Every structure is written in structure tokens, then in C-alpha cells.
Structure 1
Amino acid sequence: MSVTAPGDLGFEGRVVLVTGGASGLGRQYSEDLARAGAHVMVNALAGDADRRHEAESFVDALNREGHTVALAFGDVGIEQEAVCTVTRTVETFGRVDALVNNAGVGVTGALQDVTTDQLRTSLEVNLLGTAWTMQAALEHMRTQGHGRIVNTGSGVGAFGAPGAFPYIAAKAAVFGMTLSAAADNADVDICINTVSPIAYSAMGTGFTRIDPALDEDRLHARHISPVVMYLAHERCSMTGQALHAAGGRVARIFTAMTGGYSSEALTATDVAEHLEQIRDASTYFALANSREQYDHIPRTPRSIS
């Protein structure tokens, strides 16, 4: 039973796996996708009895509404469990049309203070977990000839912040990993993009300390879900992109290169004396791929003999 708003994107018959899909932002995504007609596999950590019961109750409630939802317990930070989550989706529904990599863990601390175990935990869940589920899903998507993958980045991964080195390092890498995977699968109807959300959740707290004027309701996960649903939909044709989503606003996040300064006899003194021009962002280039860097390298005119 689909309850998609008239004119909105429908997912009738499509199969979508949402990691970390029983709580926080993932819970909202799972609800909205199911109500739009998708067959949803909700991945969740088994955790303790209360956590398992909460996930089971959530999935049961959606099924009682007439939707098609299944539950796969597993920790995406463990390779075998991440792969099994995708395998379970295909075994249950016959295929996987879209993957929403939402599962994550917040690990804070400055680089000089964190332990190797803290770094490893953040990388295994936030980065490797995303890579493992993508890799497993892509095997099926490439055979199908289509698929959509939505990875979860973070504004702090894109722009930096103090005191959260393990989390930021992993989330920054997600942007690059998405670009790479998108380029590697551009030969098939597979689009891989990143969403960078700001919303209240167990991991997203403390916004009032950043800006006391923020309206808590505007930071509800329901304002993020439409962006994720678009990126997971067959109508999405862009790939290798990152979209910021917060409070009903959607914007593109990208890496740019300024016009800069050039000299055939560049010296370190030149760099120091022209730093303002080098950093000036009034002229910039948003490169579509790394190859375009070479288009901006000054050319030495060839002499004609």
C-alpha cells in the first residue's frame, strides 16, 4: 500500500536497503520509502533486548500498515555482517534497487588525544561499512544494469571542525569514495551520490549551542528524507555529487579550485607574495573530475620552426 503524496516520486515494487534504518534519520527514510511503495530492508544493530524489540516493533508496525518491510540485524562495521545484510535483502526480495548507507557512529576527540581503537571504530563503521555494503550491492546492481546508492557524508567532513578527528576523517573519505565509485560505475545506469544532512538525532545534537536561534522543528529528519528519496529514485540521473540537506534547504557541496596565480619561474617568494590572489575565491572552477585539473596548467607556447 503506497501513500505517496500526489505527484511525488513513487517506489512501487522497488527494493531499498537502509542501513541503520530503525532509528534516527534512517527510521524516517525507512518509513517514507515504505509508504512510497518500496520494499524496504531495514538494517539495525542487534544490540540488547530492548534495542532488538524496538527495531522489531518498528518493522511490525509498518507491515501492519500494509507495507512490505523486513528486518536484517547486523553490524556494517564487520565485513561479513555488512555483506550479509545485502545478501539477505536479495534473498528476501529478489534484488536490490537502491542502497541507503545511513549507519554511522560518532567518535570524537582531537588527533593528539584519540586512540588507535577509536580511529579504527570510526573508519570501520563510517567508511569501510559503507564500502563493504556498496561493493556487495554493486555486484547485483551491475548484473541488473541499474541501481542507486546514497552514502552519508557530513558537513564537518566537508568543512572541518575541532574535536572530532576520527569522525571527520572517515566522513571526509566518504566524499572521495563516492566520487571514485561513481566514476567506476558510470558505464551502467548506476548513480552513486552523497547526502550531507543536518538534523536532530542521537548523533546530531548540540545545535542550539551552535546557533540558539535554530528552530528544532526545522531540523527534523523529515526535512532530509525527500533528498535521500530523490537520490535513491530511478529519476535521479546525476552521479558523484554531494547534496547538503537541512531544514528544507538543499544545496550542492563541491570541491573547487581558484583561478590562482602562475609564473613560468615560480619561487617560494612568489607564493608568499601572491597568496591573496592564490586564495581569492571570486573566480573558481568546480571540476567535474580530476582530469580537468590538467586543463588549468599553464602551457608553454611551442616555437614554430
Structure 2
Amino acid sequence: MAKTILITGASRGFGKIWAKALLQRGDQVAATARNLDDLNDLVEEFGDNVFPIQLDVTDRGQSFAAAKQVYDRFGKLDVLINNAGYGVFGAVEEVSEEEARRQMDVNVFGSLWITQAVLPYMREQQSGHIIQISSVLGLFTLPTLGVYNASKFAVEGLFETLATEVNEFGIHVTLVEPNGYETDWAGSSASHAEPLEAYTNLKNAFRNANNPDNYGIPAATTDAILKLIDAPQPPLRLILGKIGYPGVKATYQQRLATWESWKEVSALAHGK
């Protein structure tokens, strides 16, 4: 049966790819973008099955208005895909206050506002699926992406908590954690902090260690997203790509080893 899906950040990258795949199989898609012209190709190809909505996810009022528009038009709201987001590149010391706040506004608060907006409709339906696009960098970190890492760590905690709160209403929550992909994420979509010379060696080493084979093909994610949407009992977390899982496994093994070696100190700190 066709689903009604609201997807943010549908102007390019994963958002555009997934929106098109969902429309091709007959779903009804409300696609948001800051510039509606970026959605014209979807409208021309799919007509009334796509509902273009202009949305700045950092505007809470716009988010609530968008959710109402979707529900008023289609009479239901089965899936929210929180895809809108971007990355700030720069060492922690380099990032300005404005860049840091904007990163959190889009990646964290933007996801929170549209989620709050759809929840009343999903609770009333007693069904729904909120898919939050996170990153493997919400599970481990890479240098010169500290503020982006922090935004995704925040998203992980927020939506893991949400899953425990809405389960009784028949609402599922999934954190999708892609590794690197050949999208425009690191290109014109990104923001770059003013560099400090002190970090030049680190950045060069990081750049030189970058292997192009580590980046997946964006279109290859489509089947995984469709299976996730159709799953009766979707997982809380889903890694996309073959690089993410080994990285996550090694990170957690290292963390567990550290906690194990310090467990006596931890226990003494309990005080009784």
C-alpha cells in the first residue's frame, strides 16, 4: 500500500535520490527545500504525487505549518525522513560562534522542530515511522569535523530517547548512519571555518589518508531505505555503507577496554 512520506532536504543528494525512488514506486511524497525551484524536476515527472514545500528547518513555525499542510493534503503521515543537514569543516579551535550555532540549529534543532510537528498526527493515527539521518560520525569522530560530530552525537541521544517515548503509540524511530558517500556534502553544501596555520599538518595528514574507495555510491542506498520503510519492525539504528560497521566496532571495543581497565576507580566513585 502506498505511503505518505515527508522528506526534508530533498533538493539534492540523498534527499533527492530517495524522494525519486519513493515516487517511482507509487508513494506520495511531500518534499521540502529552501528553494522550491530545486524540486521542479520532481514535480514535472511525478505531478500530484509530489507535494513541494518551501521550508527552512530552523524555523519552528514553518515546520509545524509544513506538517499540517501534508496532513491536510493527504489525510495521513506515515513516514518522516529527517534528511536536511550539512557539515562544518574546521578544527574545534577554528570554528566561530556563528558557525557552531548554525550547525546545531540545522542539524539538531531543525530535526527536533519537524519531529515535534509530525508527532501529534502520528500519535492520533497510532502509527508512524520517524527516520532520522545521522552519521557514523555520531558514533565515532574524525578530526576537523568536531562541531559536525557533536551535532550528530546530539541527534543520536535525542532520537534514541524519542524511541522510548513514542513506542506505546505505535511509532517507530530509526537512526540511519551513513559512512562517507560521493555526494556534495563536502562540496558546496559544506561550510569551512577560517583556518589556523597550527592545524595545517593535521589537515594534510587527514587529507592524504583519505581513500576514495571509502566513499559509497549514493544511489546504492535506495534499496536499503525502501526496505527500512517497509519493515514491520524497523531497527533503531541502521548503518549505510561497508566502512561504518568496522569503524564502529573498533571504537566500541576500545571504549569497553578503557572502561574495563578503570572500572574499580569508577566503582569507588559511587561512594557506597
Please indicate the TM-score interval, normalised by the length of the shorter structure: 0.7 to 0.9
**Are the equivalent residues in 2 in contact too, given 1:245–1:251 (CA < 8 A)?**
no
Does structure 2 conserve the Cα–Cα contact (< 8 Å) formed by 1:148 and 1:231?
no
Structure with the bigger RCO (C-alpha within 8 Å, sep 6+) is 2
- 2:223 corresponds, among 221, 226, 237, to 226
* Counterpart AA for 2:11: A
Q: 2:99 aligns with which of 108, 115, 118?
A: 118
Alignment gaps of 5+ in structure 1: 1-11, 47-51, 269-296, 301-305
- Whole-angstrom distance in 2 between the partners of 1:185 and 1:172: 20
Q: Deviations over 1:118-154 (max 9, x none)?
A: 1111111101111111111111001000000110111
For residues 59-208 of structure 1, what are the structure 2 equivalents within 5 Å?
A: 59-63=43-47, 68-197=49-178, 198-204=180-186
Tell me the equivalent position of 2:41.
57
When Rg is computed on C-alpha atoms for both structures, the one with the higher figure is 1
The yes-or-no answer on 1:214 pairing with 2:196 is no
Aligned mate of 2:241, from 239, 246, 253 = 246
- Alignment partner of 1:28 out of 6, 17, 21: 17
- SS of residue matched to 2:52: strand
Give me the whole-angstrom Cα distance separating, in 1, the residues matched to 2:73 and 2:14: 24
Give the Å deviation of 1:19: 0.3
- The structure 2 residue matched to 1:37, chosen from 9, 21, 26, is 26
**Letter of the aligned partner of 1:237 in structure 2?**
Q
C-alpha distance 227-117 of structure 1, shift in aligned 2 (>3 A): same
Where does residue 289 of structure 1 map in the other structure? none
Amino acid at match of 1:258: L
How many residue pairs match? The answer is: 247
CA RMSD of aligned residues (A): 3.1
Amino acid in the other structure paired with 1:120: R
Cα deviation code 1:229-256 (max 9, x no counterpart): 23333x24145x2211026998996868
* Residues 1:60 and 1:250: Cα distance change in structure 2 (over 3 Å): farther
Q: CA deviation at 1:39?
A: 0.4
Unmatched runs of 5 consecutive residues or more in structure 2: 191-205
Note the C-alpha offset of 1:159: 0.7
Change in Cα spacing, 1:15 to 1:210, as seen in structure 2 (3 Å) is: farther
SS at match of 2:160: helix
User: 1:208 & 1:263 partners in 2: Cα distance?
Assistant: 40
Identity over aligned residues, as a percent?
A: 23
Distance 1:170 1:60, change over 3 A: same
Of the structure 1 ranges 156-165 and 98-107, higher mean CA displacement relative to structure 2 is found in 156-165
Counting helix residues as a fraction of each chain, which structure ranks higher?
2
With over 3 angstroms needed to count, the CA separation of the structure-2 counterparts of 1:124 and 1:149, relative to structure 1, is: same
Question: Is contact 1:76–1:125 with CA below 8 Å preserved after alignment?
Answer: yes
